[in-house]
Amino acid sequence: MDTIAKEILEIFKDIHGMDTSVTDPINDMEIDSFKFIQILVQLEDKYNIEFDDSDLLVDNISTIESLADIVNRHILNDK
């Protein structure tokens, strides 16, 4: 597991109050839309990135691992 995935797990734990793994389906975590937006905003602030609308499609963010892949892609593309 890469560092970004670990950090996203911590953000999920801080905001949602539950432990999870990087492969657990996000839809199964019962995260409401407000908490999910909080998570996304924290990631944008922490990594100085901006998610595209297409990044936020349910099919693109199915697990924390897939969210970490999106964050990594933005970090690499912004260099």
Residue-averaged pLDDT of the chain: 90
CB 27 within 8 A of CB 62: yes
- What is d(CA 17, CA 14) in angstroms, rounded to the nearest whole number? 5
CB 43 within 8 A of CB 49: yes
CB 40 within 8 A of CB 71: no
Other CB atoms closer than 10 Å to residue 72's CB: what's the count? Answer: 16
CATH number of the domain bearing residue 44: 1.10.1200.10
Other CB atoms closer than 10 Å to residue 43's CB: what's the count? Answer: 20
The count of domains in the chain is: 1
Segment 12-38, tens digit of pLDDT: 899 888 888 889 898 888 888 899 999
Query: What's the whole-model pTM score?
Result: 0.87
Range of the domain at 63: 3-77
